[in-house]
Amino acid sequence: MQTDAVLLCDPCQEQLQLVDWKERCPYCFTADFEVENRVCTACRENPPLLNRVAAAFDYIGPGASLIRHLKYSGKPYLAKGCAAYLAAQFLELDWPMPDVIIPVPITFTHWFERGYNQSRLLADHLGEILNKPVQEAIKRKSGEYSQAGLSKKQRLQLGSSQFSIKKDQQLQDKCLLLIDDVMTTGSTMRKCAEVLLQDCPASIYGLTVCCAIN
């Protein structure tokens, strides 16, 4: 079986440096924020639903290559290495340890095409590292089209009805950690948080491998 060492040469692996979270807005992870206020204008005007969000890498270079190969090239084994970087960034962030790790779901169509949910694989490996349970608490409406070709405005206009919380999740008063592969506008994380809040968790944090937010 191939390994991620075949995919990335030594110089590329050396470029995989974690994003400095102190230089980003803690609520949407954009670099366009006011240092003195420690929050960007958009998040100040629209209160976030998640306590914090972050990513290990920006969606460029080797980090973006990892995700594209994991997501579109049938290389699920890359999730283990990506999860190690997620764990490293999680420890840098010094967030509270989650009670439950929750992967962002994909549609059945996407699962059928790939044979796996890359976010679930990332969550499983991260759960092993942190020794925390993984729970598929959210389901996604089937038949939804891909957001890959949508503009930022179109993504933000999508309703939250595509997501719903599964029955009997027992998330009340728990600290939740949402896991996804890429954060583009933050709309998916927000929609997942909306449905999770129905179960009254104590807090919700969101962590992705890459961030494409400008």
Q: Give percent of the chain above pLDDT 90.
A: 64
pLDDT at position 3 over 50: no
Q: Is the dihedral of CA 107, 112, 113, 115 positive or negative?
A: positive
Do residues 45 and 36 touch, judged by C-beta distance below 8 A? no
- Quickly state the pLDDT bin for 124 (edges 50, 70, 90): very high
Q: Are strands 175-183 and 203-211 parallel, antiparallel or unpaired?
A: parallel
Domain count, the chain: 1
The two three-digit tokens of residue 109, written as one number: 């169509």
Give the DSSP H or E segment for 198: none
What whole-number distance in Å separates Cα of residue 214 and Cα of residue 199?
Answer: 32
Lowest mean pLDDT among 1-15, 33-47, 86-100, 174-188: 1-15
What whole-number distance in Å separates Cα of residue 141 and Cα of residue 119?
Answer: 16
Over 85-97, what HEC string results?
HHHHHHHHHCCCC
What whole-number distance in Å separates Cα of residue 63 and Cα of residue 13?
Answer: 9
Q: DSSP state, 37?
A: T
Residue holding tokens 């993984």? 134
What whole-number distance in Å separates Cα of residue 110 and Cα of residue 39?
Answer: 35
- Quickly state the pLDDT bin for 214 (edges 50, 70, 90): low
- Quickly state the pLDDT bin for 38 (edges 50, 70, 90): confident
Q: Which residue range is the domain that position 90 belongs to?
A: 4-211
The two three-digit tokens of residue 158, written as one number: 């999508």
CATH of the domain at 50: 3.40.50.2020
Give 13 or 102, the one with higher predicted confidence: 102
CA gyration radius, the chain: 16
Q: List pLDDT tens digits, range 48-107.
A: 999 999 999 999 999 999 999 999 999 999 999 999 999 999 999 999 999 999 999 998
Average pLDDT over residues 148-157: 49
Tell which phi-psi region holds residue 29, choosing left (phi > 0), alpha (psi between -120 and 50) or beta: left
- Quickly state the pLDDT bin for 141 (edges 50, 70, 90): confident
Rounded to 5°, the CA angle 15-20-22 comes to 175
Q: List pLDDT tens digits, range 191-212.
A: 999 999 999 999 999 999 999 9
Query: Among candidates 47, 43, 70, which has minimal Cα distance to 57?
Result: 70
